[in-house]
Structures are given as C-alpha cells and as structure tokens.
C-alpha cells in the first residue's frame, strides 16, 4: 500500500468523523469493553436467530453479526443506489437458483449462443461469466503437482549435489514431498478409522431404531431401551458413547452422515488431491505454465457436474453476497443492487495460478467493482501472475475481498496464496482485503476455531460459522469457513460502492477496516483450543466488519 495515500485516507476519515451534523447517526461502539463481563448469547440460538445471525446487531443482540438489518431499517430507507457487479471467482454458480436467478450478471454486449465473440473480449458467448476449468472437476493439491513435476529432476539428490541456482526449487520439492507423504498417510489412516466406526454404528443404530420406532432419538431415550441380550447392551453402550461426539442439536443419523461425508472427503483426497498419477487438467487442453495461452475454457459457468454438488461452494458464496432480498424465499443476501458475475476457476483441489490471474483480469475488464476470492493454498508456482492481476485490479479501481483460510494458522508465520505481499509483510496494492471468520458466540469463542489470523496478514473478521445460504437446485444449507466470511464483506463493500460510487476501492477497504467493532477481550484461536490472544492482535484492524458503521463512515468520507 502506498504510505502517502494511506495517510491521506486515514486523515480524511478522522476529519470527517469530527464533522457529524446534529441528529445524524453516529458510529456505534462495542457495547462494553470486556465482552466476558455481560450476559452473552452463548446458549443455543433459535433456528430463526441462527439462520440470520450474520445480520444481527451486536449492540442490541450481543450476537456479533454485521448489523445488516439495522442498516437497511435506519440508513438505507428510501435511498437508491447504483448497480454494482461482483465477480465471484469460485467453483461455479447455480445461476438458475430461485434466490439468485434475478441477480445474475448478463453481458449486455454479447449475443447469446451465436458462437461469436461479439464484444471482442476474447471469450465466445460469455453471457454470465466464464468457466476457466472447462469440463474438468477434480485436481491435485499444489504440492502434489510440485512433487509430480520435479520428481525426475531431484529424486535421489541431496542439497550438496544440487546447483546453487536450483537450491530454492530443490528445497520447495523436499518440503512439498514431505507434506505429501504425511498427508497421504493421514488420509489413509483417518479414512480407515471412519469406516470402522461406521461399520459399528450403523447396525447398532438400525437395531435401536427398530426398537424405538424412530431414528431421531436422544440419549435419554436410548438409555431407556431394555438391554435383553449382551449384543443389545453393546449397541446401547456404543451409541451412548457416540452421543459425546455430537454438537448441540445433532442426532445419531447426523453423526453417521458426517462420518460418511468424511469418508468421501478422504477418498477424494486419495484419488485426486494426493494422487501423483492423477491429472485432471488434460481435458482442458492448455499449458498451465504459459500465461499467454488463454484460448481455453467455455461459457458454462455451472460446470459439468450433473448433480450440481460441484458448484455448492460458489452458489453459497453468491447467496451470502446477493440472494434476492425480501422475495419470500430462503435467505436475504447482504447486498441489494448487485449483479453476480460467475467465474469458474476453483476445482475440487487446488486452483491454478494461471486460472486465477486470468479470472481476476476477466472480472476487471468486464465491469466488476468487487471481486470475491474464497479459496487459497499454501504453495504457489506462479504467484507473480496473480499479484500482477491484483495490481491490475488496483489500477482499475476494483476491490478484492479474500478469505484468510481455515487451518487455524497465524498467517504472519505461514504464507498463503493468493496474497498482496511479496515477502509476507510489504503490500503491493491497496485494494486487497483479507477476512477471518467469526463465531456467533460473543465471548472467548468469538473467533472461529478454524480461522486463520495474523496481525499483519489478516485485515478484519466477519461472520463465518454456520452461515445459512443458497445451495444448488433451489436448496439452502449451513456452511462455514472463511469462505463464508469473505462474501459477507463483499456484500458490505458492494453496498458502499452502490450508494457511494465516487469512493475508490482503497477508500472502501479503509472504511471496512476502520468502521468495524472491536473488543479488548482475550479469545481462543486454533482448532486445538490451547492458544489465546487479544482479539485486537489477530488482525490489522483488530475489528469485526459492521455494515451500519461502514455506511455512516462512507457517508462522511464521501462529503
């Protein structure tokens, strides 16, 4: 980020805050300095509260949402904004979904299905976006690709036998190889463990279901079953033990479903992500190491997956941003006045740097003012291509909202891609904001245990646990991750750009960071629950993005 421009932005914000007219809304502060000293909503939320928690207001509800409903009720009534295009670079989008079909971008310069590049942008019939993956779906992880590519060059060698020019590449290979071997063994072991548990739990559950006449029994009902045989005693004991692994509100069928989902996940890892003999790119017919080879992909932004499971992620992200508001259907997106530009570039596996770089440029060149990037990886073979694309977006005044990642890591210590830094500390642009995930419990569990964090490399936090949004075929589900936190912020950014179109991307970024709510409390970070830190030390802003405050600050700064 340019230090001079950054100081000017902060100075403008500071001075504008001093010019609050009489009767105008003022910036809302955190309800109380120490969040652990007041009664908190750390009990089970009602279904209605949970489905809408990311829109809740921290001051009135003590639920750390983004004050979305309050902003619409108090600040946006009778106000008209401009239409803003948001590029969603993801796994694809169900553009036929009942809650999205009215907010999908249509290229006004392209004639549908005439087989021509009418707007001369290099993409034929790109009516709703572009699919850089073509008909491919599954992919290796990046470190698997690195091992596959460099194995013949470095196998059997040590550092002393490698030329000085190749030593960095050799070290990358050795590190990637060690991680691949470790993850492969972990996947085999965990898959086997899950399979063994399922083999024990399913017949036990079937027998208890027959006795009780229902599947969704609680632990008390289970323990009330008469154990007339040693086998029935074993069934009851096993299932009673499994209740200890359930989250609040879950049942044994949920537990079985989660285990089977885990088996499927690790099976995919072994078949695709960690398999050096698998190559998912061959059907795309391009050279992934040549950024000038751009004639590939197609206009099918929903992808080839007939059951649409492959586009769940992108569909959910799009719904968080802009699901049609107040249409009487499943969910209200954060932003109105938005068109979603669907760009398919994230496979089941790690994305290619080339696809991401070209996807960012596509979104910029075709009118997007905000781009959501809910993906990431820890190895990159061509990071310079993506960074050049980020700088290109900055030059064209486009904001990129990026997910921090879900490994519970300190990103000041572990580099993740994409990012806007060349040495994990120096920013290359002022249009890239990285978002961590919040939990709905306003207390020591405020930060999602899976969320990455970092005083220098994460900019702010937003709701990311159990987010209710659109999924394929007119369905809705809870998903979670920083992948859900980023689009919440993309929605806020889109609203700012809709109502205050003269503000630059760099100004919108600073508004998002400076207008949020904070707390001095200590919160738990990481999945092991051991480490804790001050919330203010977990991101650059030390704040939670808040739409209500952001609109007030945008109003002031625009004047």
- Pairing of the two strands 338-344 and 129-131: parallel
> Are 351 and 91 in contact, with CB atoms under 8 Å apart?
no
> Are 154 and 321 in contact, with CB atoms under 8 Å apart?
no
Q: Which residues are part of the catalytic machinery?
A: 286, 313, 483
For residue 399 the two structure tokens come to 């904001």
Element (H, E) at 471: strand 467-471
> Are 369 and 397 in contact, with CB atoms under 8 Å apart?
yes
C-alpha–C-alpha distance, residues 522 and 244, integer Å: 28
C-alpha–C-alpha distance, residues 90 and 402, integer Å: 12
Q: Which residues pair with 104 in a beta bridge?
A: 340
C-alpha–C-alpha distance, residues 198 and 217, integer Å: 18
- Region of 249 (left: φ > 0; alpha: ψ -120 to 50; beta: rest) is left
> Are 299 and 91 in contact, with CB atoms under 8 Å apart?
no
Distances (CA, A) of 536 to 38, 542, 544: 19, 4, 10
Q: What angle do CA 551, 494, 325 make, to 5 degrees?
A: 90
For residue 28 the two structure tokens come to 């809302």
Kindly calculate the radius of gyration of the chain based on its CA atoms and give it in whole angstroms: 25
For residue 187 the two structure tokens come to 């996947």
For residue 480 the two structure tokens come to 């979670």
- How many other C-beta atoms can be found within 10 angstroms of the C-beta atom of residue 373? 30
């Amino acid at each position: 980020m340019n230090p001079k421009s950054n100081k000017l932005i902060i100075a403008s914000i500071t001075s504008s805050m001093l010019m609050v007219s009489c009767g105008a809304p003022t910036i809302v502060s955190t309800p109380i300095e120490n969040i652990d000293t007041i009664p908190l909503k750390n009990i089970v939320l009602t279904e209605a509260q949970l489905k809408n928690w990311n829109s809740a207001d921290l001051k009135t509800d003590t639920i750390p949402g983004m004050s979305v409903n309050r902003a619409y009720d108090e600040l946006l009534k009778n106000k008209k904004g401009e239409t803003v295009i948001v590029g969603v670079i993801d796994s694809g989008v169900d553009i036929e979904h009942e809650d999205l079909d009215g907010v999908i971008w249509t290229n006004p310069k392209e004639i549908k299905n005439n087989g021509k590049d009418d707007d001369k942008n290099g993409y034929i019939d790109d009516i709703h976006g572009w699919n850089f993956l073509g008909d491919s779906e599954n992919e290796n992880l990046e470190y698997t690709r690195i091992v596959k590519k460099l194995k013949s060059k470095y196998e059997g060698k040590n550092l002393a036998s490698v030329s000085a020019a190749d030593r960095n590449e050799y070290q990358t290979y050795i590190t990637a190889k060690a991680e691949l071997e470790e993850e492969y063994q972990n996947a085999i072991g965990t898959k086997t463990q899950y399979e063994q548990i399922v083999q024990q739990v399913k017949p036990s559950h079937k027998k208890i279901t027959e006795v009780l006449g229902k599947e969704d029994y609680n632990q008390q009902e289970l323990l009330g079953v008469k154990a007339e045989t040693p086998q029935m005693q074993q069934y009851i004991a096993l299932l009673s033990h499994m209740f200890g692994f359930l989250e609040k509100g879950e049942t044994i069928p949920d537990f079985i479903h989660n285990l089977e989902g885990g088996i499927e996940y690790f099976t995919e890892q072994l078949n695709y992500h960690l398999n050096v003999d698998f190559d998912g790119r061959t059907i795309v017919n391009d050279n992934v190491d040549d950024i000038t080879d751009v004639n590939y992909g197609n206009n099918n932004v929903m992808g080839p997956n007939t059951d649409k499971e492959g586009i769940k992620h992108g569909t959910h992200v799009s719904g968080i941003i802009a699901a049609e508001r107040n249409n009487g259907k499943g969910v209200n997106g954060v932003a109105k006045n938005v068109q979603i530009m669907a760009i398919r570039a994230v496979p089941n596996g790690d994305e290619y740097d080339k696809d991401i770089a070209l996807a960012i440029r596509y979104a910029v060149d075709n009118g997007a003012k905000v781009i959501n990037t809910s993906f990431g990886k820890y190895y990159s073979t061509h990071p310079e291509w993506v960074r050049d694309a980020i700088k290109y977006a900055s030059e064209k005044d486009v904001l990129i909202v990026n997910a921090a990642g879900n490994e519970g890591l300190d990103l000041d210590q572990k580099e993740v891609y994409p990012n806007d830094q060349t040495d994990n500390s120096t920013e290359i642009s002022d249009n890239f904001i990285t978002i961590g995930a919040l939990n709905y419990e306003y207390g020591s569990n405020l930060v999602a245990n899976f969320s990455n964090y970092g005083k220098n490399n994460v900019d702010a936090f937003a709701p990311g646990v159990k987010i209710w949004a659109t999924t394929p075929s007119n369905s809705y589900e809870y998903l979670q991750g920083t992948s859900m936190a980023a689009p919440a912020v993309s929605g806020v950014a889109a609203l700012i750009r809709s109502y205050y179109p003269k503000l630059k991307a760099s100004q919108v970024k600073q508004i998002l960071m400076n207008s949020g709510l904070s707390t001095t409390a200590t919160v738990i970070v990481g999945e092991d629950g051991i480490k804790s830190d001050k919330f203010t030390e977990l991101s650059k802003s030390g704040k939670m993005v808040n739409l209500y405050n952001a609109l007030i600050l945008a109003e002031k700064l625009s004047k």
